[in-house]
Amino acid sequence: MSSIPVTIAPFDGLSVCLFCGSSDTAHPDYTVAARAFGAATAAQGWRLVYGGGGVGLMGASARGAHEAGGRVVGIMPGFLRSRERLYDEVETIVVTSMHERKTLMYDQSDAFVVAPGGVGTLEEVIELLSWKRLDLHAKPVIFLNINGFWDILFSLMQHSVDEGMTPPSFLDAWVVCDTVDAAIAAIRDAEHTPVLQHDHR
């Protein structure tokens, strides 16, 4: 349960967080996939949790879910309201900092999908994987690796293992999917992940 004093409408089903970019200049394949992913979460009866923006992949995913009749909650720090432009058609929570945004996104989600994105997306997933490396959570992390976007990150992770900085078992901390359908299937497969034993963040 989050310690941040906000009110979010309750949701009894599975909540899936999508980390993704906010750039409107991204390759069209990424935007199409983000929109399709949003629509697919709605079709599954899941709630989409995302960064609250109406631009780039963020906006595409939220519109895809909302227009397909799904539940969506966006979480955005106030200072980004003009840059990422709130998508007001869905429930949106405005917080004061990036830290609060990530904390709420984590607390409100049962699984995480990482679509193509920039340094902000990279920062979000690295922190999430760091928590997993420290045994602070057991929530599924799934990379939506459209056009091999994240391959270079996986190479870096393998390099860290090869250099003895990271145990080989850490490479099992995430799942890689090349299509939206595969990512949805991976979430379904992970739906019965045991509840967390602890979360000391």
Q: Please report whether residue 182 resides in a domain.
A: yes
Task: Look at 168 and 196; give whichever has higher pLDDT.
Answer: 168
pLDDT band for position 178 (50/70/90)? very high
Burial annotation 93-130 (CB, 10 A radius, 16+ → b, else e): bbbeeeebbbbbbbbbbbbbbbbbbeebbeebbeebbe
Range of the domain at 22: 15-190
* pLDDT tens-digit map of 89-138: 899 999 999 899 999 999 999 999 999 999 999 999 999 999 999 988 99
Which phi and psi (to 5°) does residue 167 adopt? -70, 145
pLDDT, tens digit, 9 for 90 and up, residues 35-74: 999 999 999 999 999 999 889 999 999 999 999 999 999 9
Query: How far, in Å, are 23, 26, 149, 196 from residue 108 at the CA level?
Result: 24, 27, 26, 14
Counted domains in the chain: 1
* 166: in domain: yes
Two structure tokens written together for 64: 């895809």
Residue 125 lies in a domain: yes
Considering only residues 7 and 154, tell me which one the structure prediction assigns the higher pLDDT.
154
> Residue 115 falls within a domain, yes or no?
yes
Confidence (pLDDT) at 83: 65
Work out the pLDDT band at 5, boundaries 50, 70, 90.
Answer: low
Residue 84 included in any domain: yes
For residue 72, give the CATH number of its domain. 3.40.50.450
Domain assignment present for residue 6? The answer is: no
Flag whether 102 is in a domain.
Answer: yes
Q: Residue 71: what are its φ and ψ, rounded to 5°? A: -85, 135
Residue 199 lies in a domain: no
Residue owning tokens 């995913």: 61
Q: pTM for this one? A: 0.90
Q: Are 74 and 87 in contact (CB under 8 A)?
A: yes
Residue 198 confidence (pLDDT) above 70: no
